[in-house]
Structures are given as structure tokens and as C-alpha cells.
Amino acid sequence: MASTELASDVYALPCGDDGTTALSTPVVVSVLASLLERHIARNERDQAAAADGEAARRARAFDSGTVLDMSLHAFLERFSRYAHVSPQVYVVAYAYLDRLRRGDGVRVVSANAQRLLTTAILVASKFVEDRNYKNSYFAAVGGLTAAELSSLELDFLFLMQFRLNVSVSVFQSYCRHLEREVSYGGGYQVERCLKKALVCSGEAQAQQRQAASAAAQ
């Protein structure tokens, strides 16, 4: 695939204006699927004995014991195609998964991929987007029941300790990380223009102080 195609695909919408014409899937789906497939392979090789405690109990809620009956790419694409999930949501969802890995050691494996990815995308979509589909719709796209997804969302929030904010600088660092997954000499760029300002309170206050200082000079 040419670098120009990689650069432009990320801006493609999943459907046409009438909601019927399917267009190109954002390339971030392919990049993230490839990255997660490698994570899953490594995590399953290095899988340690289950820990105890509240966090471990909530993490085990995502273990379904079943494996997706489709490729990871096809599964992630469903959220772009049917729930109109933007490229930014995928980036934020990946940031959440990385936080869980670093914090409570929750890692994506075949047995929890369906539940964990569906929940991460749902929570990220609620954080990034101004308007969202209901949990029941996301559940249907992810192959879960509405009650199941609502319960998993609560477990996910507790595992995240309700720290869902992603600053602009952190968001951009994950964009660069995903871009490095494509060896096309920088031809692929994740869209970094968010609909909602992903600025943590501390960063926002610092920016306000800088603006006030500049205005006073």
C-alpha cells in the first residue's frame, strides 16, 4: 500500500452520508489489529498464575473462555462500520489497555479479547465522542448482551480507577507509537484533531496561566 493511501485512509468514514455506502476502513484498525495480535501472542506465552484480590476478580470477569470466531481486524472493523467509531477512539482505547497492563497487569489474550476490546472501545467512545450509541447497541456490535457489557463497563472503570482522562501530549505519544508500527517512512499519520479537547485539568490550568501571563505583558 502506498504511503499516500496510508495517509488518506485514516480520514475515511465508515459509511456514506445516507448510512448505506461503505467506504474504506481507517488504517488505524489494521495497525491496531496487527499490534494487538502480537501482544496476544506474547501475553499468552508469558501468562503468569492468576493473582488474588479485588482487581484480579474484576480482571477475571473479562475471561470468557471462548475465542473470537473472526480475525481481530474484522472484529475491530465492526465498530468503525456499525458504530461509526472514529480513529481517535481506537487510539484512546489502546491507551486504556496499556494503562491496565502497566497498572493491574491486565493483558489482552484470546480468552478475553472480545469482552476487553468491546468494553475499552465503548468507554473510549464515551470519553471522546459527544454523541454515542447505547450500550445495548455496542453490545450487539461486540457480540455481547447489554447486561453483560454494562457489568463489564463497571469492572473496567474500577480497574482504571476512573482515571479516563488522556492529555493531548499522551494522546499524541500513542499516535506516534502506532505510526511507528507502519514502516513506510512516516507516510501514515493518525488523525490527531480530536472533537473533544483531551486536556487534563493540570495541563489546562497551566495553559490558562500561560495565556493570562502573556495577556498581562
The pLDDT value given to residue 189: 57
CA dist 65 and 8 (Å) reads 38
Cell numbers describing residue 90: 481506537
Write the pLDDT tens digit of every residue in 38-57: 888 888 777 654 455 666 66
- Report whether pLDDT(95) > 90: yes
Spell out the domain ranges in the chain: 27-186
The mean-pLDDT minimum among 74-88, 96-110, 186-200 falls in: 186-200
In this predicted structure, the answer to whether residue 76 has a pLDDT above a threshold of 80 is yes
Please provide the average confidence, as pLDDT, over all residues in the chain: 75
Per-residue pLDDT at 210 exceeds 50: yes
140: closest CA among 79, 206, 193, 88?
Answer: 79
Contact 89, 141 (CB under 8 A): no
Q: How far is CA 102 from CA 24, 46, 63, 107, in A?
A: 33, 15, 19, 9
b/e string for 101-112 if b means 16 or more Cβ within 10 A?
Answer: eeebebbbbbbb
Exposed/middle/buried for 85, CB within 10 Å: 0-12, 13-18, 19+?
buried
d(CA 53, CA 164): 22
Q: Which residue has the higher pLDDT, 1 or 19?
A: 19
Cα separation, 134 vs 90, in Å, equals 18
Q: What is residue 10's DSSP assignment?
A: T
User: Which tops the pLDDT comparison, 25 or 39?
Assistant: 39
Q: Are 28 and 190 in contact (CB under 8 A)?
A: yes
27-186 — its CATH code? 1.10.472.10
The percentage of residues in the chain with a pLDDT greater than 90, rounded to a whole number, is 34
Task: Quote the pLDDT of residue 10.
Answer: 36
pLDDT at 96 over 90: yes
Would you call 160 helix, strand, or coil by DSSP? coil
What is the share, in percent, of the chain residues with pLDDT greater than 70? 64
